[in-house]
Structure 1
């Protein structure tokens, strides 16, 4: 089979199109003929040696969509449209940058929609992470207000579009004034230019603060985000776009507002015992909403398999914001 492998630690040029044996499916796994896959920042971090130990020769990728071709358990039907996400892909086993991939049963979800594979490939990692953050951690409800800090990332865009589809009022942030219009088009009710301190701007719109916030930037803006939350509101952290994992000089009495809840959701728990089954997620509903045009498409670029280096270069350069997809 054709596969993309990592030949060394480095930039996009270390990605190479190779011929590899098709993976053999084991008990508790399925085998998928990959049609497309989404790109993620984790792919860059792993390739460049900034995500634990990079195994040379590894096939990267933490998500894929395609058709099921083998399932010893009989859980799925052959030829069924499926998505897979996490389950040790890339970090502990070969990932989705290949014509075929095997995945644990718990990390595979059947898709009923007629949605096209390239469009479907923009959904799994981003929207399942947002399901975990907004539904499992924040328990969002229609009519609430939500601050999306770092809205131009793929996860941030998924948060904006999903929250809006669920009936929330959404405040999105970006550091780039040229991205305000697109965020509004994707559903944001308000867009704030983020200079690192926006709590006062948020409270000029919601004097008591917002009900909930999802923090994609991380430690760099977390303290300020918490100051924008109303009494008994909640904040969930899902990303570290700002780079730092450490809150410097964090004062529990001054920086953590009284009664505000703070939590973290990591997508690495998807498909594990720590998270409800993927069948409980709204991904099938989201896929159908996107397919019918009732939710916007967050895809920004689609690349052929042979252009994987170009795709990685574009993602690193931040030339446009949105989800990048590769088709096979």
Structure 2
């Protein structure tokens, strides 16, 4: 089989297309013929050498969709359409950047859908993360309030806009590029703020003098403290993204979290396997019905994996980048 192998830590050029043996099925694991995989920033960071316990060479890819090719689980017969996310895919064992992936049965989420493979591949990690983040914030259907999404043109940001726009909340989303404003508005954002770096205080206070009720923080470490200063007193900030890294230097909780304000997080590993199956099936139905948007920015072939990672490195995407074998 063909696979994109990360041979060492480094830039996009460390990804090489190689011929590898198709993995042999073993107890508790099934072989999936990969039909598509979404690219994620965490794979960029793994490629750069920032993920602990990752040994190279490694086939990256924390998610994929495809068809069961050989099964060790009677509830997952051959030919079943499945999705898989997280569970150390592409880190402790080879992931979705290949024509076949050997995956734990516990990760496989069976689906029935008419969606094309590239569209289906854009959904699992992105929409499960967006949904889990909104749940962690306490944003609910039919609710009210004001939601600020920082990093709005990331794939998770676009998905969160798509979901929350049907909830009845007022949404403001940020982007660093003026050219991406229209895409956020089309996705359902009521307001779009161009983040030129630093604090968003002036723009946010002009919209909401008391601040938003919720902040979905997808930029991560570099702007979390600023988000805590923006949210209304008693509001909630959920850190989900790591576009700017994972650590906040010299973080002082008592000094930096206003009294009564809540700081939480969501990790997409909580949506893997059985925990995410029901949610993902509902998301697929909503996309099929045109309620949610797949938000695909660009589709690459597996042979173009270096170009795909360079595209991701340069923050060119507005939404999801997908690779198909």
Q: 2:211 aligns with which of 191, 209, 212?
A: 209
Name stretches of at least 5 consecutive residues in structure 1 with no aligned partner. Answer: none
TM-superposed CA distance for 1:53, in Å, is: 4.7
Over 4 Å off, 4+ runs = none
Q: Aligned to 1:232, which of 228, 231, 234?
A: 234
Which shows bigger deviation, 263-272 or 138-147?
Answer: 263-272
Judge conservation of contact 1:87–1:103 (CA < 8 Å) in 2: no
Match of 1:262, SS state, is strand
Does residue 175 (structure 1) correspond to residue 172 (structure 2)? The answer is: no
Q: 1:166 to 1:112 in 2, by over 3 A?
A: farther
Cα deviations by residue, 1:192-211 (Å, 9 ceiling, x for unpaired): 12232123432332333222
- Counterpart position of 2:153: 152
| Aligned residue among 306, 309, 313 for 1:312 | 309
Deviations 1:265-319 (A, max 9, x none): 22234438xxx711242x2222222233322231111011211111111111223
Within 1, Cα distance between the matches of 2:105 and 2:213? 36
So what's the TM-score if we normalise by structure 1? Answer: 0.91
Equivalence for 1:140: 139
Residue in 2 that maps onto 1:2: 2
d(CA) in 2 for partners of 1:32, 1:120? 15
Q: After the TM superposition, which of the residue ranges 166-175 and 51-60 deviates more from structure 2? A: 51-60
Secondary structure of the residue aligned to 2:252 is coil
- 1:293 aligned residue: 290
Instruction: Determine if contact 1:7/1:15 at 8 Å carries over to the other structure.
Output: yes
- Superposed, 1:186-205 pairs within 5 Å as 186-194=187-195, 195-205=197-207
Report the aligned-residue RMSD: 2.0
Question: Which piece of structure 1 moves more, 30-39 or 141-150?
Answer: 141-150
- Find the aligned partners of 2:201 and 2:75 in 1 and give their Cα distance: 48
Residues 108-143 of structure 1: CA deviation (Å, up to 9, x unaligned): 2122221111011111111111222111x2231233
- Residue 32 of structure 2 is aligned to residue 32 of structure 1: yes
Structure 1 residues 167 and 79: alpha-carbon distance in aligned structure 2, compared to 1, 3 A threshold: farther
Distance (Å, rounded) in 2 between the aligned partners of 1:277 and 1:146: 26
Q: Contact 2:132–2:266 at 8 Å: present in 1 too? A: yes
State the distance in 2 between where 1:147 and 1:184 align.
Answer: 14
Kept in 2: contact 1:107–1:270 (CA 8 A): no
Asked if structure 1 preserves the Cα contact closer than 8 Å seen for 2:29 and 2:104, the reply is yes
Per the alignment, do residues 112 and 122 of structure 1 end up closer, same or farther by CA in structure 2, a change over 3 Å counting? same
1:73 equivalent in alignment to 2:73 = yes
Aligned pair 1:119/2:119, yes or no? yes
Task: Report the count of equivalent residues.
Answer: 322
Alpha carbons 2:41, 2:243 under 8 Å: kept: no
Residues 130-179 of structure 1, C-alpha deviation per residue, up to 9 Å, x if partnerless?
222111x2231233321101112122222211211333321101222222
Cα distance, 1:223 vs structure 2: 2.1
Q: CA deviation at 1:251?
A: 6.0
Correspondence for 2:277? 279
Superposed CA deviations along residues 45-94 of structure 1, whole A, max 9, x for unmatched, are: 22222223542221111111011223322122321211111111111001
Q: Is the 8 A contact 1:9 1:54 kept in 2?
A: no
